[in-house]
Amino acid sequence: MVRSLCFSFGVVLSMIGLAAQRPLPKAILIDGHNDYPWALREHDPARDLDTLDISKPQPSIMTDIARLKAGGVGGQFWSVYVPVELQGQSAVTATLEQIDIVHRMMRKYPGTFELALTAEDVERIHARGKIASMIGMEGGHSIDNSLANLRMFFRLGARYMTLTHTANTPWADSANGPVEHHGLTPFGEAVVKEMNWLGMLVDLSHVSPETMAAAIRVSEAPVIFSHSDARALNDHIRNVPDDILKMLPENGGVVMVTFVPGFVSAKMNAWNSLSKDEQARQPMPKVTVREVADHIDHIKTIAGIDHIGIGSDFDGITQQIPDLNDVSKYPVLETELARRGYKDADLRKIMGENVLRAWRQAEQVSKRLQAERGPSTMLGPKQAATTPAAGPIEITIERTACFGVCPDYKVSIKGDGTVTYEGHQFVRVTGTRTWRIDPAAVAALASEMQQAGYFDLQDEYVARVTDNPTTWTSLTMSGRTKRIKDYVAGPPKLKEIESKIDQVSGVKQYVSPDRKDDDALWSAAADGDARAITALLAAGADAKQVRGEDGVSVVMQAAASGDAESVRMLIDAGGDPALRDRGGRNAADRARDGIEMVRVHPERNLVQATGRPRQYELILKLLTEE
């Protein structure tokens, strides 16, 4: 077991088909940032670990236990991120819930994970063959301007906190926000000092350069950047400028290089800034492991080898680097660095020793400070209201009838999680119903709509056709309200927003499926189009469909496509993977056919909808014990 959590360079080379070289001495790989806890919350607002059980293959996400072990992970900082749309007590509560997920992970998988509260714990847990698990808070809004909250989060296991996320706090400027404080306010400095007192690492990913510089000046302990790259290679606001890198040798801090394609590649950064229409005319740039290694080279040149770590951001990203697309792929990066001449000692530092050294120094600073003073009683800015500081959130969708077949209903979602449904005609349930969903899911949906440019869309999109429903949507947040009429002609991103509102609200159980959605589901399954399947299922399409003429199910259709996520979603929506067609064959047989087809015709190994490699082996594991 211990070997599976340690790197052996000869094994790494054999994994990727290279000639064996001398073995690399064992090292603990520590990743600074993984968002599995939020991925679970998005998958299931109740946060039930059984619904996304990582003891089993989980092709829909980037993390599961088998792949963690294959990647050689010895220590993992689990992010307990909550969106900035949650403020005040709502943010505190949601953060507690995310921390609870990590603690429940330790209980559910005791043979794999153990909570690490000190640098020494990491080494002890790793020596026992387990993955040391640490908690990282992603955003100072989680403490609601309270040093007491900060201290209690530390007591619960949090060992770093990112000072901001994508919006300013009342005491620190974010990379995304306007210049408000020019770094840190006096209370912001007190937060850094109290983190030093606790022995909690100060994380400067997401903050503005002025905040980075201010925090480094104030901090008596090394800082970290849990998931950032070098700004000199890609001028992205989330990356670290050279003048900040030059401050790290004196401070002792560590930049944990991330695998986010838009942070790694200047070309991808530029492509992401294009409009959807412009992106459709230009192929997406391909980002490689070599570009990640370039960032490591640059940080080594400017700051030195002692100031580099790894912070993937797996399960917190929507784009992927093909060479580094899940937690099994760290050896690919290690091999690239070894190819560039990095010595064994250098690789050990990058993979984990540097961040452990920074953590130990923070613990030593804490011991000294706690001998000198007690906890700070400084009061922060007036605590945020329990509703988001940006104002109330409300999201609505209203669909009208179309010649007696289309569901006619309205759904309103409030920021506190209250959902109100009004069923009018051609729905399963008429009348009014009210239920509650996770407020964090509402905040995340509102943020997603805003980031998708909802407020910049036209007020109406109308086509000169008949026999189609009109869909009205609206969003209220940050003191703004937008209402959009969509009669057929709305752009794809508006259609995606409409489907997402239905999905998040949970209205599907009350609305009759549209027959056209059922038909479209067959086409999406054949293409392996998981995104379209998500939208169609949310609109009420039936995952249990079987063709009468041959007994083929929609799950079989998806299995033949080679897209594992499509298969998983259909099964989760009620599709039966064990059904057999009139020839006695099931979905697993389709996956076996696909494996043979790719062996004979490797040129056909691409999913039609995405252009990604087909995943027949994963599908077979999903459907059987093979």
Separation between Cα atoms, residue 59 and residue 622, nearest integer Å: 9
Strand residues in 478-553 grouped as ranges (E): 480-487
Helices (H), 255-340: 261-264, 266-272, 276-281, 289-302, 330-339
In 3D space, the residue among 374, 378, 385 whose CA is nearest the CA of residue 144 turns out to be 385
Separation between Cα atoms, residue 553 and residue 86, nearest integer Å: 42
What size, in residues, is the chain?
A: 626
CA separation, residue 581 to residues 413, 548, 592 (Å): 42, 10, 15
Helices (H), 310-427: 330-339, 344-348, 354-372
- 227 classed as catalytic: yes
Neighbours of 187 (CB within 10 A): 18
> Is 447 within 8 Å of 415 (Cβ atoms)?
no
Separation between Cα atoms, residue 573 and residue 544, nearest integer Å: 8
Q: Which residue has the tokens 């499926």?
A: 513
DSSP helix/strand/coil, 626: coil
> Is 171 within 8 Å of 381 (Cβ atoms)?
yes
**CB neighbours of 149 closer than 8 A, spacing ≥ 6?**
92, 142, 143
Gyration radius of the chain over CA positions: 25
- 298 classed as catalytic: no
* Active-site residue, from 206, 295, 298, 307: 206
- 141 classed as catalytic: no
* Active-site residue, from 35, 203, 306, 498: 35
> Is 602 within 8 Å of 46 (Cβ atoms)?
no
CA separation, residue 384 to residues 92, 176, 375, 391, 444 (Å): 11, 20, 23, 11, 19
**CB neighbours of 465 closer than 8 A, spacing ≥ 6?**
488
3-state secondary structure 14-63: HHCCCCCCCCCCCCCEEEEEECHHHHHHHHCCCCCHHHHCCCCCCCCCCC
**CB neighbours of 73 closer than 8 A, spacing ≥ 6?**
5, 29, 31, 131, 327, 330
Half-sphere exposure of 235 (CA within 13 A, CB side): 2
* Active-site residue, from 114, 141, 144, 165: 165
- 43 classed as catalytic: no
Give the H/E segment covering residue 69: helix 65-70
* Active-site residue, from 227, 295, 298, 307: 227
Q: In this structure, which amino acid lies at residue 422?
A: E
Q: In this structure, which amino acid lies at residue 509?
A: Q
* Active-site residue, from 64, 114, 138, 323: 138
- 165 classed as catalytic: yes
Neighbours of 472 (CB within 10 A): 17
The pair of three-digit structure tokens given for residue 572, joined into one six-digit string = 């989760």
Neighbours of 515 (CB within 10 A): 12
- 313 classed as catalytic: yes
* Active-site residue, from 313, 336, 527, 589: 313
- 206 classed as catalytic: yes
Burial of 432 (0-12, 13-18, 19+ CB in 10 A): exposed
Sheet of 418-425: strands edge to edge?
431-436, 418-425, 408-414, 394-399, 471-477, 480-487, 460-462
Question: Which residues, in sequence order, are bridge partners of residue 432?
Answer: 422
Helices then strands (H, E): number in the chain? 25, 16
So which residues are the catalytic ones?
33, 35, 138, 165, 206, 227, 313
